[in-house]
Amino acid sequence: MQIGVYGAGYLGTVVSACLADFGTPVSCCHPDSSQMVAMAQGNVPFHEKNLTEVIKRNVRSGRLAYSTDIESFARKAQVIFLAEDSPQHLTDLAVRITRAAPKPPILAIVTPVPVGTASAIEQSITQAGLRATIVSQPMFFTSGCAIEDFNWPDRIILGTGSNDAVLALKQIFHSLVMRGVPVIVTSHETAELVRESATAFVATKISFINELASLCEKVNADAVSLSLALGLDKKIAPRCLQPGAGMGGLFAESDMDSLAELAQRNGVSLKILSAAREVNHGLADQVIEKISRCVQSVQNKDVGILGLAFKPNTNSVAGSSSIRLAKNLIAQGARVRAYDPVALPDARLELNGSVCYCESPYAAAEGVDALVVGTGWPEFRGLDFTRIKQMLRRPLIVDTKNLLDSVRLRAMGFEYVGVGRG
């Protein structure tokens, strides 16, 4: 079966490469010829662990091809995944592909969309005198782990009333189905709502442990041990229950915005979601409060930030608590120096010239009054902290991810401040 994937952003690149890795011929289409050439050469415009290797392997084998000819693309593929990062022109795209296809195609919508989008696309195709089978298929990727998430998903969700479409997609994902990955067949609206609800639930879980971390600091409890004990409860689970890890990512804010707007239009008050978002957005202010308690005020102080990506193993700064922290520090009169292994180009677009960007973690620590661990890059654990202590104006480390060995650093003479560590 020939498969098509439309989209050359994050989703389209990941989905096309991973589908080809199943051993199926895949054509990835987008009108940007320079981007298609770059992709075919394995030059991915963002950082995602192992993705370049997967692309190169499948291009070499002939299973993965890139195209700018949407009409030819639509004629060859029986199943097409619509995997643009934004739903802006999705309806026009679906109509155009359906018109070019020799027989009614199966169009699987991977793009994050508001509830009601699939039904609206079906209606537009019908009004154009065309036929296609629309499937809502949200996929759940975590930046930095997208390849693993694709190959080891928690579930496959298919929003469709077509048995033929379900059979075709089960055939494509045969290796996952045979492995026992659950397949949930439901309506368009339910499938669309699953994605937004999952994002909101994770945000709630993260915000809950961060609120408890603030309580831990007041009562001399340890939030790391608390989160471990809670996570071992089968009803709770440990994932996304680490204090200090703010909710971020390419689609997180748009998912929650869409869900909040849907609730407002229907007269429903999502108080828990509102509270979770408020806690999430307040994490940067809490870090500034911690620094201020140690140095009196951040005004006219120098602060170094290690890590600007919203999480390790990605260059995405979308929703990054480190970016929010840098902006808030600057607004309060601090001078900021920052380092990240891969996210500096994206960070520059967010922060402009207001930050001194450094080529190493040691340069970020040079002469600062406080050094903040903003992203949990594993390499930060192995830094030469004897050298760093000599470089700091004040031996203060604020570890927003509880990444470092607090006992060792305090024994070395550092003033170590974690999250929820009494």
Q: How many residues does the chain have?
A: 422
* Distances 368 to 12, 45, 138, 177 between C-alpha atoms, Å: 42, 33, 44, 53
Task: Give pLDDT tens digits for 168-187.
Answer: 999 999 999 999 999 999 99
Task: Give pLDDT tens digits for 114-169.
Answer: 999 999 999 999 999 999 999 999 999 988 899 999 999 999 999 999 999 999 99
Stated pTM of the model: 0.85
Task: Give pLDDT tens digits for 384-420.
Answer: 999 999 999 999 999 999 999 999 999 999 999 999 8
CA distance 256 to 291: 30
CA distance 232 to 286: 27
More confident of the two residues 137 and 238: 137
Token pair, residue 62, equals 């002939």
Token pair, residue 321, equals 């608590």
Token pair, residue 383, equals 């830094």
Examine the pLDDT at 422 and tell me if it is beyond 70. no
Asked whether the beta carbons of 336 and 261 are under 8 A apart, the reply is: no
Q: Which stretch of DSSP H or E encloses residue 373? A: strand 370-373
In DSSP terms, 373 is beta-bridged to 306, 399
Token pair, residue 159, equals 């929003």
Q: What are phi and psi of 393, to 5 degrees?
A: -70, -35
Is residue 158 classed exposed, middle or buried when 0-12, 13-18 and 19+ CB atoms within 10 A define those classes?
buried
Measured from the Cβ of residue 364, the count of other Cβ atoms closer than 10 Å reads 25
pLDDT score for 245 = 62
Token pair, residue 252, equals 């997180």
What residue type is assigned to position 40 of the chain?
A
Examine the pLDDT at 284 and tell me if it is beyond 90. no
Decide: helix, strand or coil at residue 6: strand
CA distance 206 to 417: 20
pLDDT score for 134 = 98
Q: Which stretch of DSSP H or E encloses residue 283? A: helix 283-295
In DSSP terms, 48 is beta-bridged to 314
CA distance 316 to 262: 27
